[in-house]
Amino acid sequence: MGTPAFAAASLNALHNAGFEIAAVVTAPDRPAGRGRILRSSAVKELALQLGLPILQPERLKDPAFIASLRAMSADLFVVVAFRMLPEVVWAMPALGTMNLHASLLPSYRGAAPINWAIIRGEVGTGISTFLIRAEIDTGDILLQEQCPIGPDDTAGELHDRLMLSGARLVVRTVRELFDGSLTPAPQRVMADQATLPTAPKLTPANCRIQWDRSAKHVHDHVRGLSPSPAAWTEIIREGRPPMHFKVLRTRLVDERTTLPPGAVEQRGSSLYVACVEGLVELLEVQPEGKRRMRAQEWLTGSRDVFRFT
């Protein structure tokens, strides 16, 4: 059960490992792009290539869908990047329903663990497989594996590494569940649950850059949202309305500044923005209505006096 490319990697790994896959459950086809053409999920596209049966329920409590699952008599459900399952589904298989989560649980429970680990400046994260129960991301741990985060890693780069290591961990987990060598373990209890980092859904509000924070915070925020949905700010230009402006890659600059937060400084073909503590250099940007481009390229075509807010 899964939808995006992150899940397709695990499906491919299970297929290559020789497991009998009774069916693939994925999201219904949705209109996408300017032409609103129906698009299949990455998981469906792979399942078609592999010749696997495909289910695409609109509602996970649909009686016909539940009946189809029961008729398969699957020993185990494997969930990667899918919707929240009702108990009638996850409690069905004899071996339970396992999920792959892109963090070292119980840290970063929630919808966007890869993004928030980078946004919060973590130097490491990992992947976990666990058994699903009613409360989201709280089930017993099966296996975990650590993964370092580099100081300039983006969410996209970390996503791709965790996608591959997660696929390998899914195969290992399924194999050990089938041969009975794996003992689920309760998630560790933190001394102070209130300080446990979480990974809430990304919204326009929490993707907005806060220039009145440290340069390190801004740099981590930008790379934690790159390439998508991307950190954004508003560009203020004299005599013109504010413009939405995405920032996709930055570089920390080891120097102080007396400029106010959001003020810009151009040095030759380089663009620097002031934060509360230090500067960041903008490397890759996307102005509203434009394609992604190097900041240097954007500067070449811009003659406005501006600042960010």
Verify that 77 and 108 share a domain, yes or no.
yes
* Residue scoring higher pLDDT (60 or 238): 60
Give the residue-averaged pLDDT of 53-57: 98
Rounded to two decimals, what is the model's pTM?
0.94
For residues 168 and 14, the answer to whether their CB atoms sit within 8 Å is no
Whether the CA torsion 136, 139, 141, 142 is positive or negative: it is: negative
Pairing state of beta strands 141-148 and 124-131? antiparallel
Verify that 102 and 185 share a domain, yes or no.
yes
Rounded distance between C-alpha atoms, residue 287 and residue 253, angstroms:
23
Predicted pLDDT of residue 193: 60
- Could you tell me how many helices (H) and strands (E) the chain has, helices first? 8, 17
Verify that 144 and 30 share a domain, yes or no.
yes
Predicted pLDDT of residue 206: 97
Phi, psi dihedrals of residue 84, rounded to the nearest 5°: -70, 125
Verify that 137 and 232 share a domain, yes or no.
no
Which of the four pLDDT bands, split at 50, 70 and 90, describes residue 191?
A: very low
Query: For position 10, which CATH number holds?
Result: 3.40.50.170
In a domain, 76, yes or no: yes
Verify that 176 and 75 share a domain, yes or no.
yes
Residue 4 clears pLDDT 80, i.e. is over it: yes
Verify that 274 and 184 share a domain, yes or no.
no
Verify that 231 and 179 share a domain, yes or no.
no
Verify that 50 and 176 share a domain, yes or no.
yes
Structurally, the chain folds into a number of domains equal to 2
Rounded distance between C-alpha atoms, residue 219 and residue 279, angstroms:
10
Predicted pLDDT of residue 195: 74
Residue 240 clears pLDDT 90, i.e. is over it: no
Predicted pLDDT of residue 278: 93
Radius of gyration of the chain (CA): 22
What percent of the chain is predicted at pLDDT more than 90?
86
- Give one word for 171, left, alpha or beta, with left for phi > 0 and alpha for psi -120 to 50: alpha
Which of the four pLDDT bands, split at 50, 70 and 90, describes residue 189?
A: low
Distance of CA 160 to the CA centre of its chain: 10
Tokens of 245: 């402006």
Rounded distance between C-alpha atoms, residue 129 and residue 145, angstroms:
9
Which of the four pLDDT bands, split at 50, 70 and 90, describes residue 194?
A: low
Q: Is the bond leading into 28 cis (omega within 30 degrees of zero)?
A: no
Amino acid at 272: Y
Domain that includes residue 34, residue range: 5-195
Distances (CA, A) of 297 to 84, 120, 201, 230, 270: 43, 30, 32, 19, 10
Query: For position 243, which CATH number holds?
Result: 3.10.25.10
Tokens of 195: 């300080």
Residue 255 clears pLDDT 70, i.e. is over it: yes
In the chain the beta strands, taken as DSSP E runs, fall at: 24-25, 30-32, 37-39, 54-55, 77-80, 97-101, 109-110, 124-131, 141-148, 198-199, 231-237, 243-253, 264-267, 270-274, 279-287, 293-294, 306-308
Give the residue-averaged pLDDT of 91-96: 97
